[in-house]
Amino acid sequence: RFLLTDWDRCLPHQRLNHYPKASNITQKANLHRNIKRLAGSYGAIYNFVPTTFVLPNEYVTFMRECVEQSEPTIWIAKPSDSSRGRGMFLI
């Protein structure tokens, strides 16, 4: 986790590869939440994002979507704390 004190302690020749609030776009659940919020404000410009659910918080909505599908759909499940595809599976 990035602390502002880390930034203050850097010497002129040093660089950090973490930035404050970067998790808002680098973590899948946070990115989804922020894009959903922006879509509510700016509308159709954000319709490029596929249908996304953060489980277990949106489980009921996810199940409703599954039932309403006219044909079988494959969903990709991605654990929020993994990287490089580790732990992904199909539903």
Q: Which long-range contacts (CB under 8 A, 24 or more apart) does 77-82 make?
A: 78/28, 80/27, 80/28, 80/29, 80/54
pTM for this structure?
A: 0.67
32-44 average pLDDT score? 91
63-81 average pLDDT score? 88
Structure tokens at 44: 């159709």
pLDDT (tens digit per residue) in 20-35: 788 888 888 899 999 9
Residue 47: predicted pLDDT: 84
Residue 2: predicted pLDDT: 66
